[in-house]
Structure 1
């Protein structure tokens, strides 16, 4: 009798152990039925500001992207020239683990176009926000002047400075009293005044320096075209976006669309980010 009970007990334990083993296998074996789905990839969004601005212009966009679960870096742009600025941005991207979506506003588009070349394994999408998409051999100023509509030339002033080697350089600003009309017409006056006071100048030479790379030829691109833009003519934005075969959205907004319409900008960036696998 004792032997029979022990035998039955051993058999029962064996059945339980086998069931547990099967249960564990069902959970852990790759591709098994009922396995938990892998979470979607969340690329890091790197935002590159343009001339006459700084990284704070992305604040409203950053808040929305972070709420959506994306890690975000709003990088500083030296605004010294495409080659210099792209090298700096590449160093920022190099310190980020995982896939990246690069977003450029205005002259920042020139920078991301150059910085992303050769980083196709890491940079999975380019997003241009009221931005330049230059081809090799083109400059930001040349593309601006290619089409009518920009009044930037009437709103800027330059300040000369001396470099350590004695050479002369020039920084370009938008005159503060003209800043809102020129750059941020749909931004509240108080905010536009702060933006004008804190604007970052761009080296005059940076706007004339020709691009040597065009990453939009090899990396999928998105573009937000601003139809009320007085810095980059809307015709220029449409031409560059079409040439790059960018997925394009148009919006009635000023050049400072990231400040005036951060929700619209964030949606375009998220559309690009969702394609990253």
Structure 2
């Protein structure tokens, strides 16, 4: 995949800074990188947004999705210039499946008990719900093996996910037509690791396992970079 641009898609309760160590290492290797700020408003809307960024990039694109970002790249990855997908502690959905449906078949992680629900106003008087993680629980649930000071900063600056995103169904599964790689965080307290394994296994993706928290890009950036380079050279 010489000349391929790597697009790093962050997940819920995070932003582009969650990829900072990975972004820096890729740039040091002169790999073109784009790290968009995903709105985290809806699966379909977020996928459309990422797809628009992909279409604006001349040449091939490798999509990397962490957590909820895995669901986003499953849909956005159907773009013609996407040549591969990399899932990091993420959701590999099938067509017609939502995040809630995939998770519903497995025991809960520590995440549900740590969630905070806040009314989300929309123009015209309608309302929805924003979902975030209680700051006091953020480090333990998302990054127990990451520097506590950094986790405090991330807790204060987290990007909530609209509750509607949990219920929207994926209209397409790009892994059916694109090569894919995956990583399971075996010590994940945010997503039950068996949810990750099930999604990857069902998609026929051979996954590497890392003894890591959910934020594997921060706790094991070298492992993540190695997996991305493997995909670029695959």
Secondary structure at the counterpart of residue 72 of structure 2: helix
Secondary structure at the counterpart of residue 268 of structure 1: helix
Shift of 1:159: 0.6
Shift of 1:140: 1.3
**Any stretches of 5+ residues in structure 2 without a counterpart?**
none
Q: Following the alignment from structure 1 to structure 2, what is the Cα–Cα distance between the partners of residues 254 and 72?
A: 24
Q: Following the alignment from structure 1 to structure 2, what is the Cα–Cα distance between the partners of residues 142 and 197?
A: 29
Among residues 49, 65, 90, which one is paired with 2:10 in the alignment?
A: 49
Among residues 50, 54, 60, which one is paired with 1:99 in the alignment?
A: 60
Flag as ranges the 4+ runs of structure 1 deviating above 2 A.
Answer: none
Select between 233-242 and 44-53 the one with higher mean Cα deviation: 233-242
Q: Does 1:170 align with 2:103?
A: no
Among residues 138, 142, 155, which one is paired with 2:114 in the alignment?
A: 155
Q: Would you say the 8 A contact 1:139–1:208 is kept in 2?
A: yes
Name 1:243's counterpart in structure 2: 202
1:58-82 superposed Cα distances (whole Å, 9 cap, x missing partner): 0000111112221000111111111
TM-score (norm 1): 0.82
TM-score (norm 2): 0.97
Name 2:86's counterpart in structure 1: 127
Secondary structure at the counterpart of residue 102 of structure 1: strand
1:123-174 superposed Cα distances (whole Å, 9 cap, x missing partner): 1100000000000111112222221251211000011022102111110010
Shift of 1:44: 0.3
Name 1:213's counterpart in structure 2: 172
Q: Would you say the 8 A contact 1:152–1:230 is kept in 2?
A: yes
Q: Following the alignment from structure 1 to structure 2, what is the Cα–Cα distance between the partners of residues 263 and 52?
A: 22
Q: Following the alignment from structure 1 to structure 2, what is the Cα–Cα distance between the partners of residues 93 and 138?
A: 23
Shift of 1:95: 1.2
1:33-72 alignment to 2 at 5 Å?
Answer: 41-72=2-33
Q: Following the alignment from structure 1 to structure 2, what is the Cα–Cα distance between the partners of residues 123 and 247?
A: 19
Among residues 180, 184, 190, which one is paired with 2:139 in the alignment?
A: 180
Q: Would you say how many aligned residue pairs link Structure 1 and Structure 2?
A: 234
Among residues 231, 236, 248, which one is paired with 2:190 in the alignment?
A: 231
Name 2:158's counterpart in structure 1: 199
CA RMSD of aligned residues (A): 1.1
**Any stretches of 5+ residues in structure 1 without a counterpart?**
1-39
Which structure has more RCO (C-alpha within 8 Å, separation ≥ 6)? 2
